[in-house]
Chains A and B, each alone.
Chain A
Amino acid sequence: MQIDRNMNILVVDDFSTMRRIVKNLLKELGFSKFDEADDGATAWPMIQSGKYDFIVSDWNMPEMTGIDLLRHVRADEKLKSTPFLLITAEAKRAQILEAAEAGVDGYIVKPFTAATLNGKIEKIFERVAERKKAAGG
């Protein structure tokens, strides 16, 4: 399956180290266009611009959490189908369930490896392609 490596990706995490790691790993996977936000609250207006094809977000952030950000995205008619991946230290079954109910496309528990990230991204975009096909697009 061919993934568009030129897509615009938004990386949301309150720790700059983690944003940097995620960006570097995405770069290794061949992606090249990233923006960063340090909180759900700063990410949301950026996402509303409609620029992003893929959102990678942390859960636990001071102002707006990743799960809230996901809910905002899913509640917006224009943005609701944007693929959303949570990368987080939150590892309770109930939280994973909550994220699934909110409509998350993938969930990675920190610490994680480059291989895990790669596998998740492939799976997410496979499903996106299937959805498009099913919709006749």
Chain B
Amino acid sequence: MKNIKPKQVKSLLKALEKENYDKASEMLDQIVAKRNESLIEGVEEIAQNLHDTLEGFGQDAQLLRDTKHGLPDATERLEYVMQTTEEASNKTLSAAENMIGLLESIESQTSDEKIAGYVRQAHAEMTEIMTAQSFQDLTGQVLNRVIMLVTSLEASLKDLIQRSGLSLDAIPAAHQSEAERKAEEEKGMGPNVTRESQKGTVGSQADVDAMLDDLGI
């Protein structure tokens, strides 16, 4: 506002009083132009601040590293949970289906009322096991939402970083010092579910056994 001069406003009023609309319109344009100028200056200032703030973090800052490595890693982990629960549900469903088939065969072949009763009860329990697998659908829908949110957060942050004039390529690759890696391995880190963490892992128990064999254990 400070670059709008009272003189300009007075001329605008004067022009309006005289019903000189051409002049009034010209004065109004001048005032609006001044106002736009200060808006642009304001936006430029904000952009500069953002750039300075992000640059102040340095290319190695946690936020930048999390954006480049942490968020994709989180998504990959959630996808692993989706996949694993789906596989487990399908295994359980197969077993329950086979079991129901067996129970139906027994039921059709037995003339013993007591056994038939047990079989019907077991069948009902199997149906219960089967329907309980619907947890995979419900938790899967929740995970899908979180994955979408993380992915969109990742995209927004990358956009912000690039807009501030920093380069994503300049953010260093995910790295751990030898000491950090050793400390993490010492502590144990759960299943190696991401491509990054699968580096240097065994593929199966057969691989473990082969290694043990080589080591004479």
Question: Which residue numbers of A lie inside 8 Å of B, CB to CB?
Answer: 13, 15-18, 20-21, 24-25, 28, 60, 89, 110-114
Contact = CB atoms under 8 A, between A and B. Distances in A.
A20 B135 CA distance: 13
Nearest to A113: B131
Nearest to A19: B137
B60 interface: no
B130 A16 contact: no
A18 B134 contact: yes
Contacts of B131: 21, 25, 111-114
Contacts, number: 54
A18 B134 CA distance: 6
Given A15-B140, A28-B127, A21 B90 contact: no
Contact of A21 (B86, B133, B140, B141): B133
B164 interface: no
Interface in B108-135: 127, 130-135
B15 interface: no
B166 interface: no
B37 interface: no
A89 B134 CA distance: 10
Contacts of B133: 17, 21
B127 A89 contact: no
7 contacts: A18-B134, A18-B137, A21-B133, A25-B131, A110-B137, A113-B131, A114-B131
Contact of A25 (B127, B135, B136, B137): B127
Nearest to A28: B127
B41 interface: no
Contacts of B136: 15, 17-18
Contacts of B97: 24
B93 A17 contact: yes
A91 B90 CA distance: 26
A42 to B, nearest CB: 18
B194 interface: no
Considering the complex of A and B, which 10 residue pairs feature the smallest CB-CB distances, nearest first? A15-B137, A18-B137, A17-B136, A17-B89, A111-B134, A114-B127, A20-B93, A21-B134, A89-B138, A17-B133
B141 A89 contact: yes
Contacts of B93: 17, 20-21, 24
A89 to B, nearest CB: 6
A24 B130 contact: yes
B145 to A, nearest CB: 10
B127 A111 contact: no
A60 B141 contact: yes
Given A18-B136, A24-B97, A111-B135, 15 more contacts: A13-B137, A15-B136, A15-B140, A16-B90, A17-B89, A17-B134, A18-B134, A24-B93, A24-B96, A24-B100, A24-B127, A25-B127, A89-B138, A112-B131, A113-B131
